[in-house]
Amino acid sequence: MASATPLNLANIQGDILGGLPKKTQTNVFFRILNVPVFRKQLKTLVPRITTADQVLKHRQDIKNHKDKGNTGLLKISGVNIAFSHFGFVKLGINDSKLAGPGGPANDPYIKGQLSDSQSLNDPGTGAGPTFQPNWLPEFKQQLHGIIVFTGDSHATVDANKKAVLAIFGIPGTAPSIQVITSITGDVRPGKEAGHEHFGFLDGISNPAVIGFDTNPPPGPAPVRSGIILLGHDGDDVPTRDPWMVDGSFLAFRYLFQLVPEFNKFLQNNPIKVPGLSDAEGSELLGARLVGRWKSGAPVDLRPFDDDPALAADPQKNNNFAFTAELTTQKICPFAAHVRKTNPRADLNNNVETHRILRRGIQFGPEVTPDEQKQNKTIENRGLIFHSYQSDISNGFRFLQTLWANNPAFPFTETTPQQPGFDAIIGQAPAGQTRSLSGTDPDNPATSLTLPVLWVVPRGGEYFFSPSINALKGTISA
Ligand code: N7H
């Protein structure tokens, strides 16, 4: 389909392209109670929605603020909104053209993530139609939408949330929506800022989008805007309804992380390499499971020790493609998380249709001394995972089911080893144990058994984040 470039950044919600700047984020999940009233009120919300061009301005303001030597944070707040299929059904809007190329009958967005959870291998009970994932009860009902609030502080986010909920009559006697649950995530404190709870720097590799990202650093090829936005060059459905153009699907996953248990596993299984202490061997195992060191330095460029300077250099830290060893696992295991989720040269760099924009944030406290002592999770913590893509089946779902959960991927013709599961997010079918090869660089065929799932899904949904025109028009009309 014809490209809509140059992109109309004032029409695209800001978390999709650019990402709402955030130290904290609150996600409000809602159901619509009163359709006509909600529609009217939504019109009032639209001018408050943060757009992609405003994100560019916010980021420039933050830079200017820092350049002036200011130490405190600039007060910035953002808000975006997205709807599930069930939300559009409630609104009486025909969203069948949001389905992927296979049509609506079996489309994950149309079915909703709860119905998809068994195919994602989420842990649960029962099988087939009686399957119930081990999700929190609030995510086992039909959610109609999500409002994402971001900002520099809880005070900023809370004030924005209060003002937005007031638009929908909350608190009050006749609200047009019901808040089902609200979850807040925060950037981790101090030196851990930007690192997820296992300790690894996150948010390094996101695809540059043609028409938006000017001058991207060396690394994987930029993607066409239609890989992320509907109705653009690269969108695999040629006939979207006009209101769908400039929107994007938001895959949300509520992922709990068992950090003390993960650390204990690393501690118990140090990689034995001459010259490395046990602690260094454990550090190496962690790096080989992820494909990056905690600093963010890629294992493909720095296989046996960390290199914080490499990690900090955006000209180098994403400029690799596993080309040094397409047929061995000495440098980086085939099943390393970043190799599973972006296999680069393993697929001749033919990965464009499976790139996603990740916009996650951490939730929960730091590991407590008590948890450390017992090697056991007591407090809830993890990742509020958000990813944007123009096709859920090719994006989030492809990475999860056909790559991370698939022990045979990447398909290796010239080596006898089966890669195994992505140790971070790979999920085996019920009753099966996870393992992977390649963690020991000197014995790549040795298989390492993974005793527990350290990333546990407790909820999720697929949403559609519409354009500003759609919010002003079809959705609120
Ligand atoms: Fe992953 N982790 O800490 O191990 N991820 N991830 N992820 N992830 C990445 O390159 C992590 C999850 C992707 O282009 C890094 O930005 C954790 C899901 C993709 O090279 C780290 C969780 C999915 C990439 C982590 C989690 C993905 C990526 C390296 C859950 C999709 C980019 C930093 C709690 C299904 C790959 C970086 C590339 C990178 C971690 C979830 C996908 C450190 C802890 C559910 C596409």
Ordered mean pLDDT values, 10 residues apiece, the chain (477 residues) = 70 97 98 98 98 97 95 95 98 98 96 98 95 98 98 98 98 98 98 98 98 95 98 95 98 99 98 94 98 98 97 98 87 97 95 97 98 98 98 98 97 81 97 96 94 97 98 96
Active site residues: 202
Q: What spacing in Å lies between the alpha carbon of 173 and ligand 1's midpoint?
A: 43
46 burial via Cβ count (<10 Å: 0-12, 13-18, 19+) = middle
Closest approach atom of ligand 1 to CA 341: 46
pLDDT attached to residue 337: 98
Closest approach atom of ligand 1 to CA 255: 34
Ligand 1 pocket, CB under 6 A: 196, 198, 200, 202-205, 253, 255, 257, 290, 292, 337-338, 341-342, 356, 358, 382-383, 385, 396, 399-400, 424-425, 455
Q: What spacing in Å lies between the alpha carbon of 273 and ligand 1's midpoint?
A: 27
pLDDT attached to residue 264: 98
Closest approach atom of ligand 1 to CA 382: 34
Angle (deg, nearest 10), helices 35-45 and 154-167: 130
Q: By alpha-carbon position, which residue is closest to atom 15 of ligand 1?
A: 202
**Which residue in 425, 415, 422, 397 sits closest to 339, CA to CA?**
422
**Which residue in 55, 61, 43, 59 sits closest to 16, CA to CA?**
55
- CA–CA distance, 224 with 304 (Å, rounded to integer): 35
Q: By alpha-carbon position, which residue is closest to atom 19 of ligand 1?
A: 341
How many helices (H) and strands (E) the chain has is answered by: 13, 13
Q: What spacing in Å lies between the alpha carbon of 337 and ligand 1's midpoint?
A: 7
Predicted model pTM = 0.98
pLDDT attached to residue 327: 81
C-alpha pair distances (Å), 95 with each of 215, 240, 275, 285 = 36, 10, 60, 46
pLDDT attached to residue 55: 98
DSSP 8-state assignment for residue 399: I
Q: What spacing in Å lies between the alpha carbon of 477 and ligand 1's midpoint?
A: 39
